[in-house]
Amino acid sequence: CAHPSAKPESAVSPYACQRRTTLNNHNKIFTDALEVLAENLEFCGNQGPSLAFRRAASVLKSLPEALRCLEETQHLPCLGEHCRAIIEEISECGSCSRVEEILNDERYRTMKLFSSVFGVGPKTAENWFCRGLRTFEQVLNEPSIRLNRMQTAGFLFYEDISKPVSRTEASALKIIVEEAVICVNPSATVSITGGFRRGKEFGHDVDFIIKTPEAGQEDTILPAVIERFKSQSILLYSDLQESTFDLRQLPTHRFEAMDHFSKCFLILKLKGEQETGRDWRAVRVDLVAPPLERYAYALLGWSGSTLFERDLRRFARLERGKLLDNHVLYDKATEAVLIICLAVLRTLHHEGFGGAIAGVTV
Ligand code: DCP
Ligand code: MG
């Protein structure tokens, strides 16, 4: 069928960083299915094949309208035969049998349940599953399991932190974080990053980046902010990760989500009437404090989404011969380290990152 708005072959880029993506996903029925397939592969440790499903879902999310027929997928990148067959099955039957099978699979369901706990990754979830455990109750009553501090907090605040955080709650937290940051360093500033920076209405946590004007302040500010939260009795959990950042380190070819800046993973008490009858809820908050000269890269890296970041790096490497990570952009040909300033970063945001990377100057 010829959809009136069918795109010509070149319209959709295979790089997420070159696609404008609406916050309103018109193809949720397909992307939900592809993401279940991706997640199931991740639970099995098959990152490569999983990424193919994530890429396909990302392409569909960027479409301005719902797909009307399979032919419309013909010129879309990242959609192989397998993905197209899934789309076809869903179009015809309303669901995909393989996805339904996964959703009913005991291993998938248990892995999903266990890895929904803060501090429980796929390896731990699998370990618990292989030991025959299927419920939280069984895990908590298993004498041979010693939960670490993060997992203990994860179970303790499970109900609250698995509830999505709204934009209103994120804004309330910004005021709290800003107050604490300014109290310990009046010249520091705070910006919201992660999903809320991308305009999402809900998130699983709230991410903040702190800008400090003087060298070295990025290493002292987080412990001081944590102390401040403690003194206000709003700190429920904190995991401070000191900086391992090395100015001389160049980006690698491998995609590493974790960077080397000072950061902390927190659970904070947010005051406000709750459905539970309590007057507060627990919220996951991440703070990162990069050195000023690398602030722009850190902001870019923490804005996400993960696939956007992955493709931005892939684009920089394959299309522009540059290596990018959360710390720096490196030109392989000239062996130059490129420091982007905030003004350039803002332009990149407006013009689309991928297309503008080549124009980045020192
Ligand atoms: N990030 C990073 N290093 C970390 C943690 C996160 O570089 N140690 C990046 C990856 C994400 C972004 O920061 O692109 C935010 O991470 P989140 O997991 O909070 O993801 P989002 O904010 O995009 O989603 P959500 O709405 O679920 O919080
Ligand atoms: Mg987030």
Angle between helices 106-114 and 97-104 (to 10 degrees): 60
Which residues does the annotation mark as catalytic? 205, 207, 286
Average pLDDT over residues 337-347: 68
Intervals of CATH 3.30.210.10 along the chain: 303-359
Q: Would you say the CB of residue 200 lies under 6 angstroms from ligand 1?
A: yes
Top CATH class of 165-295 equals: alpha beta
User: pLDDT class for 255, splitting at 50, 70, 90?
Assistant: confident
- What's the confidence (pLDDT) of residue 249? 85
- What's the confidence (pLDDT) of residue 3? 46
What is the per-residue pLDDT across 84-98, written as a single tens digit (0 to 9) for each?
999 999 999 999 999
- What's the confidence (pLDDT) of residue 5? 46
Q: Would you say the CB of residue 167 lies under 6 angstroms from ligand 1?
A: no
- 111-120, 158-167, 183-192, 330-339: which has the minimum mean pLDDT? 330-339
Fold of 303-359: Beta Polymerase; domain 3 (3.30.210)
Q: Domain 105-156: give its CATH architecture.
A: Orthogonal Bundle (1.10)
Intervals of CATH 1.10.150.20 along the chain: 105-156
More confident residue, 277 or 35: 35
Intervals of CATH 1.10.150.110 along the chain: 16-102
- What's the confidence (pLDDT) of residue 274? 87
How many Å apart are CA 206 and CA 286, to the nearest integer? 6
Asked if 167 and 195 count as a contact pair (C-beta separation under 8 A), the reply is no
pLDDT of residue 172 exceeding 50: yes
- What's the confidence (pLDDT) of residue 2? 41
∠ Cα 148 149 150 (to 5°): 95
Mean pLDDT of the chain: 91
Pocket perturbation via mutation, ligand 1, pick of 191, 209, 266, 306 by most ligand atoms within 8 A of CB? 306
Q: What count of residues does the chain have?
A: 362
User: Phi and psi (nearest 5°) for 80?
Assistant: -85, -175
- 5-19, 237-251, 293-307: which has the minimum mean pLDDT? 5-19
Q: Which of 201, 327, 182, 203 is nearest to 263 (CA)?
A: 327
pLDDT of residue 156 exceeding 80: yes
Average pLDDT over residues 50-75: 95
Intervals of CATH 3.30.460.10 along the chain: 165-295
Q: Which atom in ligand 1 lies closest to the alpha carbon of residue 259? A: 3
Task: Give the homologous superfamily in CATH for domain 16-102.
Answer: DNA polymerase beta, N-terminal domain-like (1.10.150.110)
Ligand nearest to the CA of 290: 1
What is the per-residue pLDDT across 292-306, written as a single tens digit (0 to 9) for each?
999 999 999 999 999
**Helix, strand, or coil (residue 240):** strand
- What's the confidence (pLDDT) of residue 362? 30
pLDDT of residue 77 exceeding 80: yes
Q: Which two tokens stand for residue 1?
A: 């069928």
Ligand nearest to the CA of 198: 1
Residue 345's identity, in one-letter code, is: L
Pairing of strands 206-211, 189-193: antiparallel
Whether omega for the bond prior to residue 305 falls within 30 degrees of 0, making it cis, is: yes
- 46-50, 178-182, 349-353: which has the minimum mean pLDDT? 349-353
Asked if 111 and 125 count as a contact pair (C-beta separation under 8 A), the reply is yes
Asked if 79 and 59 count as a contact pair (C-beta separation under 8 A), the reply is yes
